[in-house]
Amino acid sequence: MQELLQWVEACEADAIDEEDVIRFDHGDRTFAIYRTAKGSYYATDGYCTHEKFHLSEGLVMGTIIECPKHNGRFDYTTGAAKRTPVCVDLRTYPVKLEHNKVFIQI
Amino acid sequence: MAVKMRDYSLTGPENKLAQEKGLATADWYISPIPRQRLKELMKRKDGPAIRDTIIMFAWLIGTGMLAYYAWGTWWAIPAFAIYGISYASMADSRWHECGHGTAFKTPWMNDVLYQIASFMDLRPPTPWRWSHARHHTDTYIVGRDPEIAMTRPPVWRIIFGEIIHIYGGTRDLKSVITHCFGRLTAAEKDYVPVSEFRKAVWISRIWALILLGFITWSILIGSILPLMFVGLPTFYGPILLLLVGLAQHLGLREDVLDHRLNTRTIYINPFFRFLYWNMNYHIEHHMFPMVPYHALPALHEELKFDYPAPSPSLWAALKEVIAALMKQKNDPSYVVDRPLPATANPYYYGA
């Protein structure tokens, strides 16, 4: 059965600093919303795929997010795992900007 | 009556028990720090680690040359003591920091120094990377943490044996040999993912070839001199690494979810801090492993308000550890609880 996707308002665009990440919870799910130094926005699952630690506490370096607990890394624009102990890619979500608000499709 | 010891292995019943108690992969206490300040402290740089790596190798070459020319005289004893202690201590701290990927900003620099430092300390790099990840997930959770330095009650024979790294070194060499046959040890299988097995096996095979080369060289020239520079330093030079290692967590609590309760921050002299790459700020490191070694003193200043007072010296920390271990010999439940400053949040004991 096809999954029904919806656009959900996550935050104000300026709620995220450049080259940073914040947490967004929706229902029983949690996400990480990123803003690059160039002002683009991305969204991924909130928890690291290695162990259950939230990426919003981590460090953004360019398009890389580093997990706060074990320093595993992902490219948050693609979800690709980039450094052990991370071995499994991160799920990403489409993002759009409307009226200075960030929406993610989930 | 004999004092009963818990099963510290990862393959015993304590592992499941810890999971049932909610102590495994749990949420740990984190001290409050403004995000902006933390971002400044987490910032990666290449400069400090490049400088320190050049100093490290220059120091090892210098002390190594002194030891080489002293060989055959009594001066060889202090010369090799300096070389070996420096070699083993710096290899350990570089292994550790590069394993976290925080020493350098440039990822390949971390990876290269990680592999070199792992070999210097004869510490198989792949299992140890995962073992250390588990140590950070489940710090001093019995049955989960593979890096608990000593059981309760303590086994003094092991502590004294580690002066020449006889237990840890033998375990690591056995691990290398096991990998050479295409397998991982039972404990390693608990924390190393299957996808990493092949890498562990091939690195150990390369190491075995290098070590066999040094052993052959020593046999051919009828002297252990080559092995005194590569291979043996991890056995004759671990004393400082052992002492700071014992002071990191021992005598404090197990099975809690607050690093302020199970980890010790210690003030040590600048030379030791260079050898140890600031890992004396150990509570800070465990709570915020993304902060590189060169920023730990600044992080320490930020978090003093929430931490117990640091041990004033390595000697003071060791006295506390040894006194606690002696008490734990008869009473394994004995732990040192350090008061928090009035500004601190209360301790979090967890589940």
State the nearest Cα–Cα gap between B150 and chain A, in angstroms.
23
If you average pLDDT over residues B76-80, what whole number do you get? 97
Domains of chain A by start residue, with CATH: 7-99 (2.102.10.10)
Q: Where are the domains of chain B?
A: 13-330
- pLDDT for res A38: 92
pLDDT in tens, B282-315: 999 999 999 999 999 999 999 999 999 999 999 9
Would the pLDDT of B332 be above 60? yes
The average confidence (pLDDT) of chain B is: 95
The percent of residues in chain B predicted with pLDDT above 70, rounded, is 99
Choose the closest CB to B289 out of A50, A51, A69: A69
ipTM of this model? 0.85
- pLDDT for res A51: 87
| A85–B42 C-beta distance less than 8 A | no
User: Ramachandran region of residue A99, left (φ > 0), alpha (ψ -120 to 50) or beta?
Assistant: left
State the nearest Cα–Cα gap between A7 and chain B, in angstroms.
28
Residue among B147, B142, B117, B345 at smallest CA distance from B246: B147
Would the pLDDT of A2 be above 70? no
| B130–A83 C-beta distance less than 8 A | no
Would the pLDDT of A91 be above 70? yes
- pLDDT for res B190: 82
Residue A82: C-alpha distances to residues A49, A72, B42, B104, B147 (Å)? 12, 7, 19, 16, 26
Whether residue A64 contacts residue A76, with contact meaning beta carbons closer than 8 Å, is answered with yes
Res. B51 pLDDT band, cuts 50 70 90: very high
DSSP state of A36: -
